[in-house]
Each structure stands twice: as C-alpha cells, then as structure tokens.
Amino acid sequence: MSRYVVTGGAGFIGSAIVRALLRAGASEVAVIDNLLTGHELNLDEVRGSIEFHRADIRNYDEIAGILRGADVVFHEAAIPSVPRSIDEPVPSHEININGTFNVLLAAKAGGVGRVVYAASSSAYGDTEVLPKVEAMITRPKSPYALQKLVGEYYCNIFSGVYGLETVALRYFNVYGPRQDPSSPYSGVLSIFMKSVLERCSPTIFGDGEQSRDFTYVEDVAELNLKAARAKNVSGNLYNAGNGGRITLNQAWALVQRLSGVEIPAKYGPPRAGDVHDSQADTTRAVRDLGHAPKFSFEDGMRRTLEWYRRAAAA
Ligand code: UD2
C-alpha cells in the first residue's frame, strides 16, 4: 500500500492531484496546507478519505513527520504569481525557496521514494524561439520565476548528490475548476470567468496579444501521477503543457462566446516581469512520461465555465 503526500493539497492544483490519486485507487493520501492560498472547501467531497494537516512548509518540524516514509510527495505548496512576488518578495522567497528546501530535506531524511515538484514555465522568460524546450537557457524575469527555478535545481541536486528521486514538471498556465478568482494575483482565466459571471470588464495588461499555453488542471494532475510512476527519470525536468498557444484577446473572445455575455475588455499598461509568449514543446514529457493531454482549450474552458456557474449558484 502506497502513502502519498500532497503539499499545497488544499490548493487548486494540489486538490486536483488528491482527487486523481483517489480515483486511481490510492488509500493513503495526506495533505499538508497552511491555507494561505488554499481552501479546505477544495477538499470537501474527499475529506473523509484523506488525512489533512494544517502545517507550513517553512517549518521543518511541522512537516518532517508527515513526509516520513511516503512513497511519493507531490510538492505543490507555493505562493504563485509573478506580480505577487514583485510586491511581496519576502514571503514568496521564504515559501518558494526555503519551503521547497525543507520539503526536500524532510523527504531525504524520511526516506521518501520520490518527490514530484511543481516547477513553472516562467523559468524560461522570453525565449527567441517557440515552442520552449527543456534544454533552452533559462532567463527568469521575476522573483517568482527565479524561485521556482531554484526549486528545480535543488530537486536535481538532491537527486544527484543524495540519491533522492525527484521529477520536476514545468507547469504552463494551469486553469480549470476551483482556481480562486478573488485576488488581483489570480490566474487570468479565473478572472475572465468571474468577469462574465459578474458582467464586468476584465482588465487586460498590455495589448492582449501576449500568448500562453493554457493547460487544463486534470491533464496536469494526470501527468503528476505518470511522473510518480515513470522509471529512470530521476533528476529530470519536463514541460507540463499542451503545446498550443492562445492570446489573451482570443481567450477573452472565447469566454464571451461560451458564456453568451458580450463586454469589451479594458486595457491597462503591461505588467512588470510578464513573459510575452509561452508555448511548451511536450516531446520529452510524451516520450518519457507518456504525457497525453486530453482537453482542448475550448473543452477545458467549457467545463471551467460550467463549474464557475454552478459554484456561483450554490
Ligand atoms: C506564470 C507562469 C505559469 C504559472 C503562473 C503561476 C509564465 C508564462 N507562466 O503565469 O506557468 O507558474 O505564473 O502564477 O510565466 N493578465 C491580465 N489581466 C489580469 C491578470 C493577468 O491581462 O487581470 C495577464 C498577465 O499580464 C499575463 C497573462 O494575463 O500576460 C497571464 O497572467 P497570469 O497571472 O494568469 O499568469 P502568468 O502568465 O504570470
């Protein structure tokens, strides 16, 4: 019987991994979350099937015992957001770098089988060529991008130096049900969903021609499970994206079409630290991990909109 730990398991992506594990038959799933950006509500329907620990990855002693003996730790706990890391660099640094270091130390000390780490596509920065391939030189443009990149390097070092198995997945703009739209730092598609439900204009930073490889959360959760099982991948890094590229203007047009609500977006100045274009080359993840994203952007957005509508009506 395998024991799984999901740090940040009450978050949007972490809770999707928890549900995917349970669907795959896992019987022992523990969640670590300090509820800073996560919500217990995200675990409502699975609460009876998991262990929940309100604990903070900045505190080694709080988490070491929970990680001990786990077969796989999915490390999702983080303060996401490029602009938040610019406005509040200290907590973002402490959680994303020091917290990750603690998780790796505790995993090593506790004999954990493998750590699957939530890395970020922001590490690439602006590359001359698209799609972005893992072998490219990284050019982080924000504290957040650098912090997530440091975590990757630490995973690689713990694998090479201490023999702890690690796999890093560079997430490409994950979206879907349960993404919290309530903060100015929220993911843009969750903000678009909230805008149509409340019938108010979103603000697009820049001219809206920047593009992202938006990736549906269920596809990312499945890839995590595959990364947990794959053989001979320790120390490796993989793009976790779809391989497509959608501009913000296209995304806003789609949200309006799917919802039947027409509102012009407002436009504001471009955001500091913003990457202009992002698109994953998924060759390596497909080859080594069997990555097989199932959701087209339109399918994923349809499901996401349905979820936000139901949540608003509840
Ligand atoms: C970065 C990473 C992503 C993930 C995420 C976590 C890149 C390319 N992607 O996402 O993989 O790690 O950080 O937070 O670095 N925007 C608006 N209006 C809004 C909000 C955002 O126009 O109200 C724009 C924003 O300027 C950007 C795009 O939408 O051009 C996406 O922003 P985001 O905050 O959803 O995600 P991003 O790309 O910073």
The tens digit of pLDDT for each residue in 36-92 reads: 999 999 999 999 999 999 999 999 999 999 999 999 999 999 999 999 999 999 999
- The Cβ of residue 153 has, within 10 Å, a number of other Cβ atoms equal to 14
Of 222, 277, 212, 209, nearest to 244 by C-alpha is 212
- Measured in Å, residue 187 CA sits from the centre of ligand 1 at 6
pLDDT of residue 292: 98
The whole-number average pLDDT for the span 22-42 is: 97
- Residues 257-311 have pLDDT tens digits of 999 999 999 999 999 999 999 999 999 999 999 999 999 999 999 999 999 999 9
Residue 251 has pLDDT above 90, yes or no: yes
Provide the percentage of residues in the chain whose pLDDT is more than 70: 100
Residue 25 has pLDDT above 90, yes or no: yes
Q: Which atom of ligand 1 is nearest to the CA of 273?
A: 39
pLDDT of residue 77: 98
288 and 137 in contact (C-beta within 8 Å)? no
Residue 314 has pLDDT above 90, yes or no: no
Instruction: Tokens for 263, please give them.
Output: 């509102």
The whole-number average pLDDT for the span 186-210 is: 98
pTM: 0.98
pLDDT of residue 70: 98
Question: For atom 7 of ligand 1, which residue has the closest CA?
Answer: 122
Residue 102 has pLDDT above 90, yes or no: yes
- Measured in Å, residue 186 CA sits from the centre of ligand 1 at 8
Which CATH superfamily is 3-172+216-243+278-294 part of? NAD(P)-binding Rossmann-like Domain (3.40.50.720)
pLDDT of residue 235: 97
pLDDT of residue 40: 96
Q: Count how many Cα atoms sit within 13 Å of the Cα of residue 191 in the half-sphere of its side chain.
A: 15
At residue 71, the 3 state secondary structure works out as: coil
Gap between the Cα atoms of 176 and 217, Å rounded: 5
pLDDT of residue 1: 82
Question: For atom 28 of ligand 1, which residue has the closest CA?
Answer: 188
- The Cβ of residue 106 has, within 10 Å, a number of other Cβ atoms equal to 25
How would you label 263-279 residue by residue, b for 16+ Cβ within 10 Å and e otherwise?
bebeeeeeeebebebbb
pLDDT of residue 126: 98
Place of tokens 């296209």: 250
Q: Which atom of ligand 1 is nearest to the CA of 248?
A: 29
Of 4, 124, 144, 171, the active-site residue reads 144
Cα-atom radius of gyration of the chain, to the nearest Å?
18
- The Cβ of residue 294 has, within 10 Å, a number of other Cβ atoms equal to 11
pLDDT of residue 236: 98
Annotation says 308 is catalytic = no
Question: For atom 18 of ligand 1, which residue has the closest CA?
Answer: 204
Instruction: Tokens for 152, please give them.
Output: 């990757």
The alpha carbon torsion through 242, 248, 250, 253 (nearest 10 deg) reads: 130
- The Cβ of residue 163 has, within 10 Å, a number of other Cβ atoms equal to 10
Gap between the Cα atoms of 64 and 107, Å rounded: 8
- Measured in Å, residue 26 CA sits from the centre of ligand 1 at 33
pLDDT of residue 79: 98
Gap between the Cα atoms of 112 and 246, Å rounded: 38
165 and 156 in contact (C-beta within 8 Å)? no
If one residue of 88, 100, 120 were mutated to test the ligand 1 pocket, choosing by the most ligand atoms within 8 A of its CB, it would be: 120
pLDDT of residue 241: 98
pLDDT of residue 224: 98
The whole-number average pLDDT for the span 238-244 is: 97
pLDDT of residue 21: 98
Residue 213 has pLDDT above 90, yes or no: yes
- Measured in Å, residue 213 CA sits from the centre of ligand 1 at 11
Gap between the Cα atoms of 56 and 122, Å rounded: 24
